Structure 1
Amino acid sequence: MAIKPKVSVLVPAYNVDQYIRKFLDSLVNQTLKNIEIILVNDASPDSCHDIITEFLVDDRIKYINKAKNEGLWMARQSAYDIATGEYIVNLDPDDYIDDNFLESLYVFGKENELDIVVGNVQSVDENDKAFGKTALHKISKRKVLQSDQDYKVLLGTPYASWFRLFKREVMKNFNYNYLQGELVSYTIQFCDGVKVGVNPEVFYYHRKHGASMSNYDKSAKRISESAEFSWDGIHKKLKHLKALPIASENLRNTLYMYIFRVYYSLTMITWLEENPTKDYKKKVGRLLKDELNFNAKNFFKFVSWFKRKEQIFLSLCLLGFDEIVLKELKKRKSN
């Protein structure tokens, strides 16, 4: 009888041949051996397939080689559909992880019966040189989140899922589908009955590509194509948030502050592509502020937990200077 994997690692691959070998080396050499690695080549036009093929001697790897590009979220969903592990983790192949990343998170999760285990994130440049503060820089030891105050540490983390272990059963219980996006998976951490812990001792190394500002064109186009940021999409997202099982008002306000920051900033990025009217932009801003309870009282309760640039963004939004942020984004996009 086959032993159930402790962790299923879901990896989409597209146009990352210059990074994927280092990533796969960091993955197959994990100190946690009982893992399932599901690689999805999303019809990548580069040499990803050839490099992945070299690693298929490892019988822990399952390989989905798509003939047609279907996009990141469908690639993740294809991997999730065949995953059998106790926990799920999503990794990106242009990044890499500590050798004990999976074992450290898994053991901490099992010892404390956690549903979600959050690791640390360190940004690195093209030469693997670390820069900036880590996602969990405010704490130094492993911690199970218990009080409402504890959850504020999550405000400093990206909403992306690549440094979080999710118990697969919990994802099923919440009927999670990858086409819903990573922001929905982030909200699960705040729901009643979900036990969360953070481990700042092991790192996911997130590569910030050198020409990051030149990526605004791609990002604006990709995000603007998502129905999630249309007027109807915004209403759908807010309806989802209002329906979440979160009994604590403090926890709900913590989540709402974070969602405002993420959702409003991503909506602004769509405006780089769409260039809506000023009245529409004000309408969207007012809707998000009202529905997500964005006000001075909440702002001062939570703002210190955000990173510096996010504090500036939120400050300008609170003061009604959102247009300054948009103008700066347009300026950088044109450079």
Structure 2
Amino acid sequence: MQPKVSVIVPVYNVERFLPRCLDSIVGQTLRDLEIICVDDGSPDRSIDILNRYAAQDDRIRVISQENRGLGGARNRGFDAATGEFILYVDSDDWIDPDYCEKLYAAAVGAGADVACCSIRKIRPSHEKWTIRFDRTEEVADVRSKFAVCHCPPDFYVMNKLLRREMLLRLELRFREHAYYEDVEYLMRVLGEGGRLVTVPDTAYRYVVNGASITKSTQTPKKQHDRYLAHKAFVAYADAHGIRLGKRYRSITRRFWTLGGLTLLKIKECDGWETWRLFDLIPVFFKRKNDGN
């Protein structure tokens, strides 16, 4: 029998956080779940934790693979999923006990492809709401869906329940061995999927982990992947009539820092490239050659 929700958990080097994440999933008030945990070549003892939980709950399936990055782990989990809806939960985060039940009921009740809930961002020193919905709202047109989901700047796939049939129809895949893979994936979900419904009174708990993939040191590859993702979104927005202010049309191509201070940043906007000293003082302009 098809489960209502497939929960996909990509796992890499998170043994300190993993039990809390798994406890929040196996304790859901909606019991009709399959829980697919993808060990992405994790070098720590995460696989031992996964196997222990799988031995205690037959809804948990553990898949191991060589490292393919967050996108690759999510893709592998999706390929194994059979649920009516898909839910991605990162392994250092956790979800409220009624999270799946409320999102599933909202999606089915609205006939929606996407159910979206609030995000509570948790840092060692404080917590705050990154996205908060205080009422149920149904939206169907593209611009409204992007606006309701705060995109840009908040390209989060984790706080959204996604209809599996919609993902199959769109042939959606995350980019593998890439950072900021959520941007291109989510822009197509919102741009080409169907109705979206917001869900108040439950939340995704997003832990700001300094050792996580995107929060660790900004390497040239991370900068380049972020540039490509942002550039793809601006082009997508233009093609679909989504109006972006200059703040979101301005794409950072590269930056250099010293001791936490930005020394130089190269930005692109509407065909022009600008070099900015300390990210404040324009020191060089040139017309962009789109061969890059």
Matching residue of 2:73: 75
| 1:176–1:118 CA distance, 2 compared to 1 (3 A) | same
3-state DSSP class of the match of 1:155? coil
- Residue 195 of structure 1 pairs with residue 191 of structure 2: no
Matching residue of 1:95: 93
Once the two structures are superposed, residues 151-199 of structure 1 have per-residue CA deviations (whole angstroms, 9 ceiling, x without a partner) of 5332277212111011111112222111172112322354366101111
Unmatched tracts of structure 2, length 5 or more: 258-263, 282-292
Compute the displacement of 1:215 (Å): 4.2
| 1:80–1:33 CA distance, 2 compared to 1 (3 A) | same
3-state DSSP class of the match of 1:22? helix
Contact 1:121 1:163 in 2 (8 A): yes
2:183 maps to a residue whose letter is: L
Distance in structure 2 (CA, Å) of the matches to 1:168 and 1:19: 28
Correspondence list, 1:255-294, <5 A:
256-257=244-245, 261=248, 264=251, 267=252, 270-272=254-256, 281-282=266-267, 284-287=268-271
Compute the displacement of 1:99 (Å): 0.6
Correspondence list, 1:63-142, <5 A:
63-66=62-65, 68-126=66-124, 131-136=127-132, 139-142=133-136
Once the two structures are superposed, residues 48-74 of structure 1 have per-residue CA deviations (whole angstroms, 9 ceiling, x without a partner) of 0111111112111111112x2221111
Contact 1:20 1:93 in 2 (8 A): yes
Distance in structure 2 (CA, Å) of the matches to 1:263 and 1:62: 43
Tell me the percent identity. 25
Distance in structure 2 (CA, Å) of the matches to 1:111 and 1:56: 32
Q: How many pairs does the alignment contain?
A: 268
- Which structure dedicates a bigger proportion of its chain to helix? 1
3-state DSSP class of the match of 1:79? helix
- Residue 220 of structure 1 pairs with residue 207 of structure 2: no
Matching residue of 1:330: none
Give the structure-2-normalised TM-score. 0.78
Compute the displacement of 1:326 (Å): 7.7
Correspondence list, 1:137-156, <5 A:
139-145=133-139, 152-155=147-150
| 1:257–1:96 CA distance, 2 compared to 1 (3 A) | farther
Give the structure-1-normalised TM-score. 0.69
| 1:263–1:46 CA distance, 2 compared to 1 (3 A) | farther
| 1:143–1:288 CA distance, 2 compared to 1 (3 A) | farther
Contact 2:30 2:101 in 1 (8 A): yes
Matching residue of 2:286: none
Give the aligned CA root-mean-square deviation in angstroms: 3.5
Distance in structure 1 (CA, Å) of the matches to 2:167 and 2:238: 19
Distance in structure 1 (CA, Å) of the matches to 2:102 and 2:68: 33
Matching residue of 1:27: 25
Contact 2:145 2:196 in 1 (8 A): no
Compute the displacement of 1:324 (Å): 4.3
1:143 maps to a residue whose letter is: E
2:61 maps to a residue whose letter is: K
Unmatched tracts of structure 1, length 5 or more: 290-319, 328-335
